Amino acid sequence: MAKIKTKQTDASVLDFINSVDDAQKREDSLKLLAIFEELIGGKPKMWGPAIVGFGTYHYKYESGREGDWFLAGFSPRKQNISIYVMCGLTKSQQLLDKLGKHNTGKSCLYIKRLADVDESVLRELILNSVKKLETGNLSC
């Protein structure tokens, strides 16, 4: 069975964010840090070299694969900012329609700038996902 490569580290979240070359992404990352801290609480942790994650949950698939992962997080990537909404986005189309300029993956939102999206809608998407995970609903 394959092992998860991305794991929680002791690296400094602020050092990572401050090392982001793009000034706008760095500023947006600091704003996202504040949003996630307000919504989820707890101290952010680095997951691998480039993901800022908040909280943890334990998952176990039918295949037997299991592990721990962050509840929600973000990563300032070269092309965009990835916002990880671990409970997925398939049941969130009404909110996504109101969010603003974005693309999606299975459990990721991709935005160029925080100013491109409605912050209140983003907050609701994050909170909805976290609440489902905290209640043990891993089949979001």
Task: Kindly report the CATH number assigned to the domain that includes residue 50.
Answer: 3.90.1150.200
Instruction: Tell whether the model's pLDDT for residue 61 goes beyond 80.
Output: no
Distance between CA atoms of residues 114 and 23, nearest Å? 13
**Residue 2 domain flag:** no
Residue in this structure with the two tokens 């943890």, named with its chain if needed: 56
DSSP state of 114: G
By residue range, what is the domain housing residue 123? 11-134
Report pLDDT digits (tens) over 20-55: 999 999 999 999 999 999 999 889 999 999 999 999
Distance between CA atoms of residues 21 and 84, nearest Å? 21
Report pLDDT digits (tens) over 87-132: 767 778 899 999 999 999 888 999 999 999 999 999 999 998 898 8
User: What is residue 15's predicted lDDT score, i.e. its pLDDT?
Assistant: 98
**Residue 140 domain flag:** no
